[in-house]
Amino acid sequence: MRLTAAVTKEGVWCVAQCLEVDVASQGETMEEAIANLHEALALHFDDSPDAVAGLRATPIIVPVDLDLAGAVG
């Protein structure tokens, strides 16, 4: 399964967040954050009901359109 991670810097931490499922992790370096995210994702899918049943859930990715022209700011 191929997933996508977004890595940002928050203070002294690098935060890696999976864009397809709601899983994130952190580390002192980008490499450590990604490695920790990899471990967190493995645990997430191992604990999911589909994984317990012997299946792997594949997320469905869909575009979301947002009209900001009417946003109050």
pTM reported for the whole predicted model: 0.67
For 19, the token pair is: 């864009």
CA distances from 12 to 5, 30, 35, 38, 64 (A): 19, 11, 17, 20, 32
Q: What is the pLDDT of residue 1?
A: 76
- Domain ranges in the chain are 5-52
Which pLDDT belongs to residue 31?
94
Question: Is residue 40 within a helix (H) or strand (E), and if so which, with residue range?
Answer: helix 30-47
| Radius of gyration of the chain from its Cα atoms, rounded to whole angstroms | 15
pLDDT tens figures, 37-63: 999 998 888 866 655 455 556 667 777
Per the CB < 8 A criterion, the answer to whether 26 and 20 are in contact is no
